[in-house]
Structure 1
Amino acid sequence: MWKKFSSTITIVFLILCAAANSIVKASFEDEVDIKRSDFPDGFLFGAATSSYQIEGANLEDGRSLCNWDVFCHIKGSIANGDSADIAEDHYNRYMEDIEILHSLGVDAYRFSISWSRVLPNNSKFSAGIEPFVTIHHFDYPQELENRYGGWLSHLMQEDFVHFAEICFQSFGDRVKYWCTINEPNLFSEFAYERGTYPPAHCSPPFGNCSTGNSDVEPLIAVHNMLLGHAKTVKIYRERFKSEQRGVVGIVVHSFMYKPLTEDKRDKEAADRALAFNIAWILDPVVFGDYPPEMRHYHGSELPKFASEERIILRDSIDFIGINHYATLYAKDCIYSSCICNDSSCTKGSDRAIRGFVYTAAERDGVPIGEPTGMARFFVVPRGMEEIVEYAKKRYLNKPMFVTENGYSSPLNKVEDYHHDVKRINYLKSYLAFLARAIRNGADVRGYFLWTLMDDFEWVNGYSVRFGIYRVDPQTLNRTPKLSASWFRNFLSNCSLNYVESCNSISLMNTDESRAQSE
């Protein structure tokens, strides 16, 4: 199985490496006219996916069950009873998807490696034009959960390092950009605080799970993830970097937070929210320890790093990966009561694990921005500039990549897949504010659109659509939306107001296109 799989990946790399040698008025901000030439030379533009969300083929070629395989088949876990058993069948249709990437003209492709496929029983790989590889994106072998409790155990650190080492050995000659772990902050929140991701641990008031401690377990899980990251980077730098000459970073989920009112306490709450969500991950890998804000409020509940652990943690990233979609309001819960009374807030705001901060997307019943298909993802383009500026200042302008940014179509509305204008407006507006942050000195080196195609969006199943390509649920045919045309023309620096005026890609589905060319 491994020989077949490795050969497949080699073919993918050869094909993609060979490829390496405004339409409507924006409704989210003032009209913007953004061009590729507004970004620096050498800036990487790409699309992003993750293995579990698109691959399918969950039992092919010796792949073992992962945590999500098991979770998806627990009744009530996933919207509409969906699963990723087949997903977009990328595992068998990857050549077609590479053709799509070629047609878009992207510089790079961010994807993840399926831990369960590389190590079927605790022994894969996707591909890219310039490969930008995430080693761990939420999925891991169920065996590790059964054996010792996954990320709640220090044993997971060593298994992760072993997995990463195999990835470096097998693919490091072709991969120059590595992300160790995707969104440790978000995964720990959903898996160990809210209990909506596997292993579904939580406690009141966050949820009613059969097991878990929402106040403590997220801290333990992140602690193990950070040490797994640091040990992985140490091995890469000592054993592989001199020959492979790659760089390694970590990816953080990054809401921007704005004070709910002009009150000083709400302004402090917004700063605290940033520390408890973003600095929680980035302070240790830049400075070697948790943010002082967290240490102050968590006390002994926050794990401590030993002196030798702080040494390997400090400066253990070459770049910061920022996944940014939206901005939320923040309200202080230390000196005032906080009651979650709308769909955009989360319970437990008056707890230390939440930084004693109430976050929501509404103020006096008025949303912070235009709603999307995700409950807390409201459109606030200026947040892109603000979150980049925050990272620039706090982390001394460490190189950054926007590793995810994209628009989910509103739920329960029929989307015209050939005319997804709101997605185009979203992308234009967010890119415009990113370009402004770069002009103001932020060292941002790339941008990855989420996502290439409609996929399995975790607990939302297939009800949330982020893709610039539609995937027919019956035939799995890929059909470009208007946003795919816009993105392709943006990448070719077409600055005309209407996509139709540019040399855009065909809007026929991939099967029709292939038939006409034969």
Structure 2
Amino acid sequence: MDNGDIACDGYHKYKEDVKLMAETGLRAFRFSISWSRLILNGRGSINPKGLQFYKNFIQELVRHGIEPHVTLYHYDHPQYLEDDYGGWINRRIIKDFTAYADVCFREFGRYVKFWTTINEANIFTIGGYNDGNSPPGRCSFPGRNCLLGNSSTETYIVGHNLLLAHASVSRLFKQKYKDIQGGSVGFSLYAFDFTPSTSSKDDEIATQRANDFYLGWMLEPVIYGHYPDAMKKTVGSRLPVFSEEESEQVKGSSDFIETIHYLTASVTKNEMNPSLSRITDFNSDLGVSINSSFFSEGQVCWFSMGYGRHPGVYKAALWQSPVYILENGKIMKQDLELQQKDTPRIEYLEAYIGAVLKAVRNGSDTRGYFVWSFMDLYELLTGYEHSYGLYSVNFSDPQRKRSPKLSALWYSGFLKGKTTFLGSQGIMQSHSNFSSSS
């Protein structure tokens, strides 16, 4: 219930921010283009101010030696399309989304070589159309604030349309732009590190089921052109079917796999009979209990464990495909004194990056890693109450002053090859440097 109209005011402060990125040592920056700011009603005329801003921002990044990684869709589409035909619940959006992507490729493709079509497609779909706790807030559960929706069917319809839209955009890029501009197109999924709660066979099967529903749901189509067998069997006629032509278009439509990863999760076989639930939805179809927590120092994440937990398709996708980690970071309460000396965030990043390094040494083709987030901002679910930023933003200051947290100094040192910044000795050194700079 906060106001996001200005937030960190990147629109006016982009030159200052890019300079700060360069000083920090960033080689790449991942950001999203807002469809509504570029094409107000989702189709038709282009907003010249939106177009000019994104051109200016992208060129500013390139001038400072920072590679732009662009996401085309990050939870927001023009209200007009929602009012006109229901947005993602209608296949008409595939054509409009492809036309919007065409504008982006044409206008920005000279400088942008890495494109993500949909941001964390699985979680966007579950949150927006099953649970109703994120945009556009559709569900059919009594007692929630959803005015519209059908959690039993819309979750799968929207997921299907997202995959077809991604495939359509990928095909457009390859046919029209790839030979001229170079570049590549990927698809982003939110990934849990699922582990069985116990060593029992039941929990092992439940863990594979969780992988099928959360990862396989959209990973198998982009690799093999079809949904996981477990989903087909459980969801039945509520799960849309790809035509033979659509299956071929979706199959192989991602040049790389992109994951957003923060959490580990233990999985337990759900003793409750899903059929007893009043509403059949994604969660009742899943039929397992999940208890999640943030990756922490001492834990070994799924990247470093190899593909043992992800047999079959997940082994192929996550260990034989190029992988980019689009988001990873540590959430903390928005308290200035705590935030500026955010040692827990450093410990988290140090442990996670170390796990990724192990994965690369073990054969993972992980090519990029992005910390979420460069600075404090307006978070989707918690507003200004919590933050992930390496730099704090004073939201009560009209100038939105940026200040480095301890994690910003640590990360900058890491990027610049000051290896003494790694480990507890490095954290102590960061404290010393932070005190000196303060």
Fold conserved between structures, TM > 0.5 = yes
Counterpart residue number, 2:289: 358
Q: Distance in 2 between matches of 1:285 and 1:460?
A: 32
Counterpart residue number, 1:399: 322
Structure 2, unaligned stretches of length 5 or more? none
- Aligned counterpart for 2:404 among listed residues 466, 473, 480: 480
Overall identity of the aligned pairs, in %:
38
CA gap of 1:439–1:98, structure 2 versus 1, over 3 A, is: same
- Aligned counterpart for 2:263 among listed residues 326, 338, 342: 326
Structure 1, unaligned stretches of length 5 or more? 1-80, 340-346, 362-375, 510-518
Q: Distance in 1 between matches of 2:343 and 2:273?
A: 37
Counterpart residue number, 1:190: 127
Aligned residues, how many?
A: 405
Counterpart residue number, 2:303: 385
Q: Deviations over 1:28-66 (max 9, x none)?
A: xxxxxxxxxxxxxxxxxxxxxxxxxxxxxxxxxxxxxxx
Counterpart residue number, 1:463: 385
Shift of 1:459: 2.6
Q: Distance in 2 between matches of 1:349 and 1:489?
A: 50
Shift of 1:506: 9.4
TM-score (normalised: structure 2): 0.86
Shift of 1:386: 5.6
Shift of 1:206: 9.1
State yes or no: 1:121 paired with 2:41.
yes
Q: Which amino acid aligns with 1:407?
A: K
Counterpart residue number, 1:495: 419
User: Conserved in 1, the CA contact under 8 Å of 2:140 and 2:149?
Assistant: yes
Shift of 1:384: 4.2
**Quick check: which one's helix share is greater?**
2
User: Conserved in 2, the CA contact under 8 Å of 1:406 and 1:449?
Assistant: yes
User: Conserved in 1, the CA contact under 8 Å of 2:69 and 2:112?
Assistant: yes
User: Conserved in 1, the CA contact under 8 Å of 2:75 and 2:135?
Assistant: no
Shift of 1:504: 6.3
Shift of 1:258: 1.2
Q: Distance in 2 between matches of 1:110 and 1:273?
A: 28
CA gap of 1:504–1:223, structure 2 versus 1, over 3 A, is: farther
Counterpart residue number, 1:144: 81
Matches within 5 A, 1:266-281: 266-281=203-218
User: Conserved in 2, the CA contact under 8 Å of 1:409 and 1:415?
Assistant: no
Q: Which amino acid aligns with 2:300?
A: R
Q: Distance in 2 between matches of 1:282 and 1:415?
A: 42
Q: Distance in 2 between matches of 1:414 and 1:266?
A: 42
User: Conserved in 2, the CA contact under 8 Å of 1:421 and 1:483?
Assistant: yes
- SS of 2:30's equivalent? strand
Q: Distance in 1 between matches of 2:77 and 2:254?
A: 22
- SS of 1:459's equivalent? coil
User: Conserved in 1, the CA contact under 8 Å of 2:119 and 2:189?
Assistant: yes
Q: Distance in 2 between matches of 1:167 and 1:398?
A: 25
Q: Which amino acid aligns with 1:483?
A: S
Q: Distance in 2 between matches of 1:352 and 1:421?
A: 36
CA gap of 1:508–1:192, structure 2 versus 1, over 3 A, is: farther
- Aligned counterpart for 2:99 among listed residues 162, 173, 180: 162
Counterpart residue number, 2:222: 285
User: Conserved in 1, the CA contact under 8 Å of 2:296 and 2:351?
Assistant: no
User: Conserved in 2, the CA contact under 8 Å of 1:324 and 1:384?
Assistant: no
TM-score (normalised: structure 1): 0.74
User: Conserved in 1, the CA contact under 8 Å of 2:295 and 2:348?
Assistant: no
Name which of structure 1's ranges 273-282 and 126-135 shifts more when overlaid on structure 2. Answer: 126-135
User: Conserved in 1, the CA contact under 8 Å of 2:377 and 2:389?
Assistant: yes
- SS of 1:327's equivalent? strand
Counterpart residue number, 1:77: none
State yes or no: 1:214 paired with 2:151.
yes
User: Conserved in 1, the CA contact under 8 Å of 2:130 and 2:151?
Assistant: yes
User: Conserved in 2, the CA contact under 8 Å of 1:112 and 1:136?
Assistant: yes
User: Conserved in 2, the CA contact under 8 Å of 1:205 and 1:348?
Assistant: no
- Aligned counterpart for 2:348 among listed residues 426, 431, 435: 426
Shift of 1:331: 1.4
User: Conserved in 2, the CA contact under 8 Å of 1:256 and 1:328?
Assistant: yes
Q: Which amino acid aligns with 1:405?
A: N
CA gap of 1:386–1:352, structure 2 versus 1, over 3 A, is: farther
Shift of 1:458: 1.0
- SS of 1:289's equivalent? coil
Shift of 1:378: 5.5
Shift of 1:379: 3.3
- SS of 2:387's equivalent? coil
Q: Which amino acid aligns with 1:308?
A: E
Q: Distance in 1 between matches of 2:37 and 2:17?
A: 19
Matches within 5 A, 1:296-375: 296-333=233-270, 336-337=271-272, 354-361=285-292
Larger RCO, structure (CA 8 Å, separation 6 or more): 1
Q: Distance in 1 between matches of 2:403 and 2:342?
A: 13
